Each structure stands twice: as structure tokens, then as C-alpha cells.
Amino acid sequence: LAKTTQPISMDSYEGQEVNITCSHNNIATNDYITWYQQFPSQGPRFIIQGYKTKVTNEVASLFIPADRKSSTLSLPRVSLSDTAVYYCLVENSNSGYALNFGKGTSLLVTP
């Protein structure tokens, strides 16, 4: 399994763009990068997934450089409701998509 490393916590003010970077130096060719969001007292929720370059949806953007050894989740103009824990996962079919979550990054957004 490709191990991931992310910051334990981040702080931001409302309206700012937040970028959370995840390192996955041992990523394999058939690995996909997936991000989840977890609000307090809820289960994690899928945000976005990518393989390379850039992916964007209504919630976030995911930037993956050519070597794929890292990825950056970008949250534009965060609000207080974006306060949550964000998890970076690297999974492939060989692992049966076991969805192993690490400790994640705890994002606190303040006024």
C-alpha cells in the first residue's frame, strides 16, 4: 500500500483558499488518489478522485503533478462549514480498494 503523509492540522480564515498537500512517494502505476471529508459526528464523505493532472468538481479541485508523488486538495473560498477532517487515500485494485484512512488533516476555519 502506498503510505500517505498529510499535515495534522491547518487553520484558515473564511474566504481564503485552502490547499492541503498529501505526500505519497511510493504510489504505484495503477493507484488512484481519493480525498474524503469528515464533519464532526458524521462518517467520511467522498469529495474527489484523480489519477493525474487536475480534477475539479463543485466542491474542490485536485492537483496531481506529473510524478504523482504528491497531490493537493484545493478548497476555494472556505467557509465556517468547511471545518472538518480531510483524508487523502491512495488505492488500487491490487489491494481490493481497501480504503485505508490515515489520521487526516484537521482544518479549522474561523471568521
Partner 1 sequence: DAGVIQSPRHEVTEMGQEVTLRCKPISGHNSLFWYRQTMMRGLELLIYFNNNVPIDDSGMPEDRFSAKMPNASFSTLKIQPSEPRDSAVYFCASSFVGDTEAFFGQGTRLTVV
Binding residues (CB under 8 A) for partner 1: these are: 32, 34, 38, 41-46, 49, 87, 89, 91, 93, 96-104
CB of 84: closest distance to partner 1 in angstroms?
13
Q: Which is nearer to partner 1, 27 or 87 (CB)?
A: 87
Rounded to the nearest 10°, the torsion over CA 46, 50, 53, 58 is -30
> What does each C-alpha distance from 38 to 2, 41, 55, 88, 105 come to in angstroms?
22, 8, 20, 12, 10
Q: Give the cell for residue 82.
A: 468547511
Q: Which is nearer to partner 1, 38 or 72 (CB)?
A: 38
CB of 15: closest distance to partner 1 in angstroms?
29
CB of 92: closest distance to partner 1 in angstroms?
9
How many alpha carbons fall within 13 Å on the CB side of residue 64? Answer: 23
Q: Which is nearer to partner 1, 81 or 93 (CB)?
A: 93
Q: Of all helices (H) and strands (E), which one includes residue 32? A: strand 32-38
CB of 86: closest distance to partner 1 in angstroms?
12
